[in-house]
Structure 1
């Protein structure tokens, strides 16, 4: 896909009640060396005493030269619905998400822009990442890559990589052209569990993903806690069933096998995390 010399990035951030986490993330947006961006802040907060002061937040972003606007969301929306609201409001050719508590290196968007130029056939882009527990403690995910291990390339081994270890990217290190969502669909809105991974699977199956092994994103390491406290077994079962259906419709035998192995590995990971957190209903 062809982009303008300076394409607009739409950065979608869902507000939460942790202003410290939110500013930790937004400061990394302000620090980007590539500045043709719009910042969409999805506001679904309850009117409580710890509600983030949105007008003050907008003033701070404006003072730092950011084009920021608020998208009001009704209460009670699921995570996929909130992300889809941002997508529908986005004006950019390229869409990226940043979760509160996650952050980017200053040249993250510049690296993605290089990927768009080097791999014009790609409709999605991603970089490597690290987990962080706090601002000082970082954990390397066990990512098993071959083709993209030493330099940028097309990620043709998404399912094999995720089967052998950690996923090669997370939502905060993933960018997609807006047209990709027209072709593969938006985020799943039926359940919370797996809606991001479901999109990754569709992107890997039905488009080309350009990947940089440079660690340019840092994601909050709360995956196990999220499974423990928020998700239910029926929702994870629905995610697995959807991915199985993608495998069933795949005509290429090698890729079909890769998707099937990915499903099995995901079930094993979920069972392990669930037992660790004493959630036998998930295991």
Structure 2
């Protein structure tokens, strides 16, 4: 495990609200990364000032890169190009890691020498942290092939730990895409025969809140794009025909207002 050196990467645009919470969870890892690379992609709020403040007190080196609205995929590829280590761990600016997240992934990577991508299970919280739980249970790892992706995308982008070699072989993030760039990456990896390894404890926290582009932007456009990607995924992964109605059902559900969806999940 001592040979696993990690660069944490993040891209952010107008994300100051949860930025300190997110980066603090990186700094407090029991197996900390060797560095953090943050690309601030054209924020017009106080994100840049918050980042500089956090860098001054960070316990590990933090590289800050300032760009002017180059887009999510290009910003991710730029963060990767600035990272110095073999293993890369992405975290979105409004998500969090539990303290043992990277340590458990490093153990999993050591146990499976062929592993190029290790993820964790995810728990969902709302707003300031409603619903957050401590991860408990025995350590276990589940290999995931293409059949695990037929119904939904089982990987939270903030949970991934992958090698630079993996990213190079699948071609990096597609800079022609503006949304859901991670799903496109997983599809290309699966078609090349990659197996993903999941640490089964929910060590990554995905935060849902009203400030997300999904909630405040063009919901119909976003969900329709998701619908198209889901159909493309099923086609390219050669899923059985009976999985194809699922994207239609999900499209309808995702256009229900968030307040109602929240109650339905209770």
Distance 1:262 1:130, change over 3 A: farther
Match of 1:123 in 2: 116
Query: Shift in Å at residue 26 of structure 1?
Result: 0.7
CA displacement at 1:91 relative to structure 2: 1.3
Structure 2: give runs of 5+ residues left out of the alignment. 259-266
Which residue in the other structure is 2:23 paired with? 26
SS of aligned partner of 1:216: strand
User: Cα–Cα, structure 1 residues 99 and 23, in superposed 2: closer, same or farther, change >3 Å?
Assistant: same
Q: Alignment RMSD, CA only?
A: 3.0
Q: Is contact 1:6–1:36 with CA below 8 Å preserved after alignment? A: no
- 1:59 corresponds to which residue? 56
Query: How far apart are residue 128 of structure 1 and its match?
Result: 0.3
Give the distance between the partners of 1:168 and 1:241, measured in 2 at CA: 16
1:10-45: CA deviations, max 9, x gaps? 111123434340000011011101134210010223
The 5 A counterparts of 1:198-209 are 198-206=184-192, 207-209=194-196
Q: Which runs of 5+ in 1 are unaligned?
A: 141-148, 248-255, 278-283
Matched residue SS, 2:10: strand
Structure 2 counterpart of 1:210: 197
Residue 152 of structure 2 corresponds to residue 155 of structure 1: no
Report the CA distance between 1:51 and its aligned residue.
4.5
| 1:243 matched to 2:249 | no
- Summarize the alignment of residues 71-90 of structure 1 with structure 2, pairs less than 5 Å apart: 71-73=65-67, 75-90=68-83
CA–CA separation in structure 2 for the residues paired with 1:120 and 1:192: 34
Distance 1:223 1:170 in 2: 19
Contact 1:195 1:239 in 2 (8 A): no
State TM-score, norm by structure 1.
Answer: 0.76
Mapped to 2, the partners of 1:40 and 1:177 lie a distance apart of 15
Alignment partner of 1:138: what SS?
coil
After superposition, the Cα gap between the structure-2 partners of 1:230 and 1:10, relative to the gap in structure 1 and judged at 3 Å, is farther
| Counterpart for residue 164 of structure 2 | 178
State the aligned residue count: 249
Shift of 1:6: 3.0
Name the residue aligned to 2:264: none
Measured in 2, the distance between the counterparts of 1:190 and 1:237 equals: 18
1:196-275 correspondence runs (5 A): 196-206=182-192, 207-222=194-209, 226-227=213-214, 229-230=217-218, 232=221, 235-236=225-226, 239-240=229-230, 242-243=232-233, 246-247=236-237, 256-257=238-239, 264-275=245-256
